[in-house]
Amino acid sequence: MDIIIILGYAAAILIGVSLGLIGGGGSILTVPVLVYILHIDPVLATAYSLFVVGTTSLVGAGNYMKSGLVDYKTAVVFAIPSFIAVFLTRKFLVPWLPDPLFSMGDVAISKSVGIMVFFALIMLAASYSMIKEKKKGGEDENGEVKFNIPLIALEGSVVGVITGIVGAGGGFLIIPALVLLARLPMKLAVGTSLLIIAAKSLIGFLGDISTQTIDWQMLLIFTGLSVVGIFIGSALSKKINDKALKKGFGWFVLVMGIYIIGKELMNL
């Protein structure tokens, strides 16, 4: 087996580990691995990412469901508009995007470059949310904030569009929404987020089956290794400090985002 393929499959395990450790971050690793290590077209890579992250998150959500750490009411309110947004985005918006997206003088920005740069910007936003220190007393779970159905639904729609474009599960956007708008405790928010990510990503992937040629053998092997990784990550999470892990992963994501932007701009 080619060494590049071995590296790609090894990275698949790390993707699962990240989901098992912090309940997110899988897509942030999946798309760069597929594009830069396995040399898969960015548009197809986002489709593969939806399947990999969706399946792996479903396994992770199962563990939280067994422990009663999933709020199904919140999941439904958030997920329905998100499902619709991600499916329509993958089915219509992504295929509709022109290639090149636009030109600036003699420089043409292709669809692939545009998707990767947009993905990198999402990575930078994710890294900020993971690195920054939360202000003590800034979150009062016993306050008078009500369960805000319209805002939760709107957030679901926005995350659905982002998921559809870049193949990102959106855990770094979903969890803050669940904590602040639905007032869920952190562990309950993580479990609920994994269930939403799983359903949303897999439904989004359905929009690609008719528009993309899927290498099922490679995809299933990659996904299977990622599932193995989530069990490893879940076991390790009991031994590693959550705050230190989240911040360290945030710095890694920041570096990766800057690298992707630099690499894509150099290729123009």
pLDDT (tens digit, 0 to 9) for every residue of the chain, 268 residues total? 688 888 888 999 988 888 777 666 676 788 889 988 999 988 899 889 889 988 988 988 898 899 888 889 888 888 899 888 888 888 888 888 887 787 777 777 887 788 888 878 887 887 887 787 665 544 444 444 356 778 888 888 888 888 788 766 667 667 767 777 777 887 788 788 888 888 888 888 887 887 788 999 999 999 999 999 988 887 887 777 767 776 777 787 788 889 888 888 887 6
Radius of gyration of the chain (CA): 18
Residue 103 sits at φ, ψ, to 5 deg, of: -125, 145
- Domain span holding position 247: 3-267
Query: Residue 179 and residue 199: Cα distance in Å, rounded?
Result: 20
Token match 């559809």: residue?
A: 164
Token match 């292709």: residue?
A: 110
Number of domains composing the chain = 1
- Among the listed residues 165, 221, 250, the one whose alpha carbon sits nearest the alpha carbon of residue 10: 221
What phi-psi label fits residue 170: left (phi over 0), alpha (psi between -120 and 50 degrees) or beta?
A: left
Q: Give the pLDDT of residue 95.
A: 84
Single-letter residue type at 8: G
In sequence order, the β-bridge partners of residue 102 are 109
Residue 102 sits at φ, ψ, to 5 deg, of: -165, 170
Q: Give the pLDDT of residue 48.
A: 92
The whole-model pTM stands at 0.73
Q: Give the pLDDT of residue 215.
A: 92
Q: Give the pLDDT of residue 133.
A: 67
Concatenating the DSSP letter of every residue in 49-112 gives HHHHHHHHHHHHHHHHHHTT---HHHHHHHHHHHHHHHHHIIIIIHHHS-SS-EEETTEEE-HH
Q: Give the pLDDT of residue 146.
A: 53
- Among the listed residues 197, 173, 181, 174, the one whose alpha carbon sits nearest the alpha carbon of residue 86: 197
Structure tokens at 255: 């570096």
Q: Give the pLDDT of residue 13.
A: 93
Query: Residue 51 and residue 55: Cα distance in Å, rounded?
Result: 6
